[in-house]
Structures are given as structure tokens and as C-alpha cells.
Amino acid sequence: MSEPFVFDPPTRILLGPGPSEVPARVLSALARPTVGYMDPSYVGLMQELRGLLRMVFDTKNDATLAITGAGTAAMESAVFNALEPGDKAVVCVHGYFGDRLRQIMERAGAEVTVVESAWGSPTRATDVEAALAKAGDVKAVGIVHGETSTGVRQDIPEIASLAHKNDALLIVDTVASLGGVEFAADAWGADIVYTGAQKCISAVPGFSPITFSDRAMAAINARKTPCQSWYLDALLNLTYWDTPPKYHHTGPINLAYALYEGLRIIDEEGLTNRTARVKKTAQAMWAGFEAMGMSMLVPEESRLPTLTTVCVPDGIDEAKVRAYLMQQHGIEIVGGLGPLAGKVWRVGLMGASCQPRHVILLLAAMEAAFKAQGVSVPSGAGVAAFSERMAG
């Protein structure tokens, strides 16, 4: 007789582009008893959750909720609700996820103008201005705030004011940034903003926050045709967040407990304190990489603190380094995507994964992995530079 299958996932140090480490408080929230979606306790939780979602988006938007599904479901909800077939859209593509936004806009039936930038550079506002003028009558502009494929942090306010000047909505992807990098939906003029639960919020994947400004809701209410997706229709989803809720689909009850707990942890620390802590830890990690002779792909002014693309030094087999980190220490970092495959490692400091002890272990383990390949690195230089910056 064969042995029964026993699933016992290992404990990893998740320093990749997500998911991030899940705090014990969130894991135990998941294990609480499942109730019905009409249960008074759950209805109360949904309203509390909305308050915390407004906190993390930094918005007063009434239409703030979470979509049942991965970040891509919220991405599709943003696009399918904003755009009707035949509408014009501008999409800024500076990496893999900007291109996903383009593909979704095209599937929504929009006439899409692409503003393309090199991987590793942000989109220039002047390029967006020119695209808006050329396309004319654009309904929505889409852009990624934190591009996980390149480690670029995109400035938003200037793009938002260009979109508004042209009467267009601004859709912003914050899947890799919200809760870890400064973002202010209302103050910056972002109309539809979505994220995932599994990165900087450190709840598990499957329930994805989204917010719609009053301008966005006015445009959605004025549509001539219903949203292309019944499941992702914002108007239908919002009825599910009413008190009392109306049945739309069966919500992910236990994922809501997890998201609530993840957001409470952010609220207890204070969003501003948290983004400052992540930035400081990232800057110290960059100093550590530099002390080991490595360079970052993205110039510091556009570098995303939650996801760093660090260039693979000459003479190093990048896949072997990742395998060493995983096998010897259970550390996950990830290789480059598309044109960056084999050229960079992607190192995440998202949510609960952003801890100095993890970075110290990573730097020390990378040094050992380089030495195992016969590449010399000044002993302890990475850890020393990191510690010095953290103490400063």
C-alpha cells in the first residue's frame, strides 16, 4: 500500500514579489468559524473592513470594497467597469503588469493607445500628454504605480492631472505598493485604484481591495451598456457591501477575516510609520547590495522600496544563487521577467516580510552563494553596510 499523502508546507522566508509572509494573527483569523454572509457578525465586519480599506487607500470614497479573486480580478473589475466597447483608452506600459492592463483593456473592447517606456524607467508625463492629445476623447488612462517586473515606482499626481484635464478617469494598479509605499488616492486624483491582499497587506491571496471615486461612479452609472462581466460588475458587487447585503456571489468569508486582521496590523502601526519603515529598510538593503559590489537596475529616485531589481554581477549564475538560498536557508527571491530574465533578481520587502533579520540573513547567504561560485566578495561588507544604515 502506498503511503498516504501528507501536506505539510515548509516555512519559507518570502523575499520575492509576493506573496509575502503572513503574520500569525492573520493565520489564526483565517481559522475562525465560517458564518453565513447574512450573519449580523459578518455584516458588521464588512462595514469595519470598508473603513480600514479607506484608510489604506487614503480615500473618502464611498465605493470602496474588495473583489473576490486575485489582484487580476480587481484589475479586470477596474477596466471592465470603466470602459465600454469602442471607448478610447491610454495605457502606460513600463513592464509586465502595464502590458497585462493593456491586454485587459483590449479584451474589454476599447480602442487602446499604448505609451511605452523602457523596462526600468517610469512613464514620462509628456508622453502621456501627447498620447491623450493624439487619441482625443479618451475615457480612461491606466498606469501601474509599483511595477513588480522592473522595480519602478511611478509618480502619479502629474499623470492624474493630465487625465482629468482631458476628462478621462485614471486607473492605478497598486498591487505591489499599497500598504508599503506612500499612496494617496484622493490627494493624488486617482479615480479607480486596486490592489491585492497578499503583498504589502500580508493577508492571503484571494480578496482584492478596490476603490472608485465619485467621478468614476458617475461614469459607471452613465454607461450605455452593462459591464462586460456580471461577476466583476461594480454596481452589483457594491450591493453585496450594503447593509443589509444583497446576495451577488458567495463572499470569501474567512478571507475577509484575514484581510481585516492584515489591515488592523497596518492601522495599529500607522500607515505613514509603516511606509517610512519600509523605505528605510529598503535603503539600507540597497546599501548592503552596493557594499557587496552589486548595482540596482532602477535609479534611486524611481526605485520601488517594496520590490528591488538588483543586477546579477558578472560571472555569477543567477539561478544557482536562488537555488542556494532556497536549499540552504528556505529564502525565496525571484529572477527577472521578460527582457530582464537572467539579468536581475527581484527582492521584495512586502508586508510582514520586511524585517531587518530577513535582510541580514539574505545578504550573508548571498555572500556565501557568491563565494561558492568562486566570486570574491568583501567578507561581511553587505551586512555591515545594512546595519550601519539601519542604525543611522
Ligand X SMILES: Cc1ncc(COP(=O)(O)O)c(C=O)c1O
Stretch near ligand X under the rule CB under 6 A, chosen from 66-74, 120-128, 263-271, 285-293: 66-74
Query: Could you say which of 78, 140, 144, 331 contacts ligand X (CB under 6 A)?
Result: 144
The Cα–Cα gap between 331 and 309 comes to: 16
Q: Which residue, 75 or 333, is less far from ligand X as judged by CB?
A: 75
Stretch near ligand X under the rule CB under 6 A, chosen from 79-87, 170-178, 278-286, 296-304: 170-178
Stretch near ligand X under the rule CB under 6 A, chosen from 69-77, 237-245, 361-369, 383-391: 69-77
* Residue 148 interacting with ligand X (CB under 6 A): yes
Q: Which residue, 177 or 275, is less far from ligand X as judged by CB?
A: 177
* Residue 258 interacting with ligand X (CB under 6 A): no
Q: Residues 2 to 61: which contact ligand X by CB under 6 A?
A: 17-18
* Residue 70 interacting with ligand X (CB under 6 A): yes
Stretch near ligand X under the rule CB under 6 A, chosen from 29-37, 171-179, 212-220, 336-344: 171-179
Residue nearest to ligand X (CB): 71
SS (H, E, C) the chain: CCCCCCCCCCCCEECCCCCCCCCHHHHHHHCCCCCCCCCHHHHHHHHHHHHHHHHHHCCCCCEEEEEECCHHHHHHHHHHHHCCCCCEEEEEECCHHHHHHHHHHHHCCCEEEEEECCCCCCCCHHHHHHHHHHHCCEEEEEEECEECCCCEECCCHHHHHHHHHCCCEEEEECCCCECCECCCHHHHCCCEEECCCCCCCCCCCCEEEEEECHHHHHHHHCCCCCCCCCCCCHHHHHHHCCCCCCCCCCCCHHHHHHHHHHHHHHHHHCHHHHHHHHHHHHHHHHHHHHHCCCCECCCHHHECCCEEEEECCCCCCHHHHHHHHHHHHCEECEECCHHHCCCEEEEECCHHHCCHHHHHHHHHHHHHHHHHCCCCCCCCHHHHHHHHHHHC
* Residue 385 interacting with ligand X (CB under 6 A): no
* Residue 318 interacting with ligand X (CB under 6 A): no
User: Considering the complex, what minimum distance in angstroms separates the CB of residue 196 from ligand X?
Assistant: 4
Please give the size of the binding site for ligand X, defined by CB under 6 A. Answer: 14
* Residue 188 interacting with ligand X (CB under 6 A): no
Stretch near ligand X under the rule CB under 6 A, chosen from 64-72, 239-247, 262-270, 321-329: 64-72
Q: Residues 193 to 212: which contact ligand X by CB under 6 A?
A: 196, 205
Q: Which residue, 96 or 240, is less far from ligand X as judged by CB?
A: 96
- How wide is the angle at C-alpha 346 spanned by C-alphas 300 and 74, nearest 5°? 95
* Residue 72 interacting with ligand X (CB under 6 A): yes
* Residue 350 interacting with ligand X (CB under 6 A): no
Q: Which residue, 17 or 288, is less far from ligand X as judged by CB?
A: 17
Q: Which residue, 175 or 377, is less far from ligand X as judged by CB?
A: 175
Which residues of this chain interact with ligand X, rule CB under 6 A? Answer: 17-18, 70-72, 75, 97, 144, 148, 173, 175-176, 196, 205
